[in-house]
Amino acid sequence: MESRNIKKITTILIITIMAIAINFTRVFAEDSKVIYEDNSNRIVTLPGDDLFLNFKELYPGEIIEQNIQIYNKNKNIIDLYLRAEEASADKFENKDLENLSKELINILSLELTLKLDGEEEKKIYSGPASGITSEEKDDIGTMTKPILLGEFKTNSKAVIVAKLSVPESLGNKYQNSEAKVKWVFSCDVKENKDYIEDENTESDNEANKDKEQNKDNVVTGDNTSMLMSIILIGVSTLTIIVLVIKNLRNKNK
């Protein structure tokens, strides 16, 4: 076996769906979870593949929150990152739906607040749900490059509060349309004595890209060059379903 300076990339993909329907019925779901497991060395989501359980039924002008609990149940220390990308073309039935999605995902507003154990909460992103900030003065950060969520020791945890805002002016053009964006959680394992191999690897290119981008977010005192570096990737395709129904309130009165 080579020295501990040897680095290995393992990519693990998880596909989840976020569905947001604009309506008037409110059903609040439990918090969702992102867990780096010990036995499987995988990033998993609970209770299912959908991280955004509270974003199912929204209407224009509404603001709703979803808590995403993050846990490191692995024996190793990790650095956890989050970034966003455009959904790939194969996620849409045709080009028109893809173009409509790109419009809508930039109209909806998203705010992410991170709460780490023992630390003050901080806003890590504010801008379009696409993750690409505009020139608006209230926008904060960008999700096009990995955001370092922090260093997670064994059994440490955090929560991301995601707040989605739907503009009141959202028009009938977007009725029954879908907006999709890809979220990528990348986990840089800082301590690991054994190689982790997974025959179900789907995309080593995804991991290599995060590895290069994460170099811009090095933690002070980081000694990963002396350890085995393994990047695990969890990919979530977030689908926003918009149902714009004009004057529904008046009709129900």
Q: Which residue has the higher pLDDT, 224 or 159?
A: 159
For the stretch 190-204, pLDDT in tens is: 865 543 443 334 444
For the stretch 5-33, pLDDT in tens is: 434 333 333 434 444 444 433 445 578 88
For the stretch 96-146, pLDDT in tens is: 999 998 998 899 899 999 999 888 899 999 999 999 887 766 788 889 999
Q: Does residue 223 have a pLDDT over 90?
A: no
3-state SS assignment for residue 43 = strand
Nearest to 80 by CA among 183, 188, 212, 209: 188
Q: For the residues 144-150, what does the mean pLDDT come to?
A: 91
3-state SS assignment for residue 230 = strand
- pLDDT mean across residues, the chain: 72
What does each C-alpha distance from 22 to 106, 122, 165, 212, 241 come to in angstroms?
Answer: 17, 29, 11, 38, 8
Q: How far apart are CA 81 and CA 239, in angstroms?
A: 21
pLDDT at residue 157, rounded to an integer: 94
pTM of this prediction?
0.71
Q: For the residues 211-236, what does the mean pLDDT come to?
A: 46
> What burial letters (b/e) apply to 79-90, b meaning 16+ CB within 10 Å?
bbbbbbbbbeee
Q: Which residue has the higher pLDDT, 120 or 230?
A: 120
* Beta carbons of 38 and 72 less than 8 angstroms apart: no
Nearest to 33 by CA among 10, 19, 14: 14
Before 60, cis peptide (omega within 30)?
no
